[in-house]
């Protein structure tokens, strides 16, 4: 069976088959709660509707990092079986923030305050810049600041996913400075990974190895450690016993969280 017939039109990002589920019976995403300083389950009931509420106080790289962290959180929760509703609370720049979210590959947000009030007892996880007080109950995920460029740089990039990768590559609690050349370097790194994925896609498909799947889940369920997820992909490249078809499936699986469009170059001329 050809890869295109198995996976559908990859330009439409159909989800591949990844083999049997991980051995975890109840995957639990644990997150550092900024209100208490303790690491706790992100949600108390795994299959209950949960709103992920992003709080943005402006339109800058820090606000974009808050939106991106919210997107990662909702993707991780969905991968664990939790239904999620993303909300955005912002006093200003709502149009710019919604447009930036779309450009960065972030799931669309509903507008926050009025809708959130009508959701009753739905679980909530707040995502906000470090030091920003948020009202109400629920876990609060703090996001360290990002600077070094104006948020408008997003709309000048040939591939906005380069900014997504640059922001993903640092621990959420560490400040990010995107100095000169940082986005170019992220773009080159993303291009190399996509080329590798395109090369691996030429081989017969193989399931994601359980040890690799376990490392990925351990990383993102441990306080949403996305740099560690990226590290697993780098580690996998140097494991000669992993077939190329399994490398492809692993990257496609991880991209359900990363949303870097890693399969984009499949079928393109080298």
The DSSP code for 106 is P
The reported pLDDT for the residue numbered 257 is: 97
Separation in Å, CA 176 to CA 1, 147, 170, 182:
45, 6, 7, 11
Please give the average per-residue pLDDT across 246-251, as a whole number.
98
Among 201, 174, 185, 182, which residue's Cα sits nearest to residue 255? 201
The reported pLDDT for the residue numbered 14 is: 36
Q: How far is 64 from 158, CA to CA, in rounded Å?
A: 18
Question: What sections of the chain are H helices per DSSP?
Answer: 3-7, 61-79, 94-103, 112-117, 161-168, 182-200, 210-221, 226-237, 244-258
Helices (H) and strands (E) in the chain, counts: 9, 9
Q: How far is 262 from 18, CA to CA, in rounded Å?
A: 16
The reported pLDDT for the residue numbered 114 is: 56
pLDDT greater at residue 18 or residue 54 = 54
Name the least confident of 2-11, 18-27, 109-118, 125-134.
Answer: 2-11
| H/E stretch holding 143 | strand 139-143
Q: What is the pTM of this model?
A: 0.87
């Amino acid at each position: 069976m050809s890869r295109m017939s198995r996976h559908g039109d990859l330009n439409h990002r159909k989800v591949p088959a990844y083999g049997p589920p991980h051995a975890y019976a109840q995957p639990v995403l644990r997150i550092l709660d900024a209100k208490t300083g303790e690491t706790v389950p992100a949600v108390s009931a795994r299959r209950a509707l949960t709103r992920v509420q992003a709080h943005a106080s402006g339109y800058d790289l820090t606000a974009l990092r808050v939106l991106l962290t919210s997107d990662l959180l909702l993707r991780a929760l969905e991968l664990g079986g939790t239904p999620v509703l993303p909300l955005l609370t912002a006093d200003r720049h709502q149009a710019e923030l919604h447009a930036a979210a779309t450009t960065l590959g972030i799931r669309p947000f509903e507008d926050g305050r009025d809708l959130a009030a009508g959701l009753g007892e739905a679980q909530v996880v707040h995502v906000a810049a470090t030091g920003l007080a948020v009202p109400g109950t629920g876990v609060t995920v703090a996001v360290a600041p990002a600077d070094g460029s104006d948020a408008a740089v997003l709309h000048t990039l040939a591939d906005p996913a380069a900014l997504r990768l640059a922001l993903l590559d640092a621990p959420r609690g560490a400040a990010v400075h995107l100095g000169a050349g940082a986005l170019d370097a992220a773009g080159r790194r993303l291009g190399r990974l996509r080329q590798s994925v395109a090369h691996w896609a030429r081989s017969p498909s193989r399931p994601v190895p359980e040890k690799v799947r376990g490392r990925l889940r351990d990383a993102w369920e441990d306080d949403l450690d996305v740099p560690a997820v990226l590290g697993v992909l780098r580690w996998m490249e140097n494991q000669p016993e992993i077939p190329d078809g399994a490398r492809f499936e692993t990257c496609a699986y991880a991209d359900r969280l990363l949303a870097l469009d890693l399969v984009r170059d499949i079928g393109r001329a080298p």
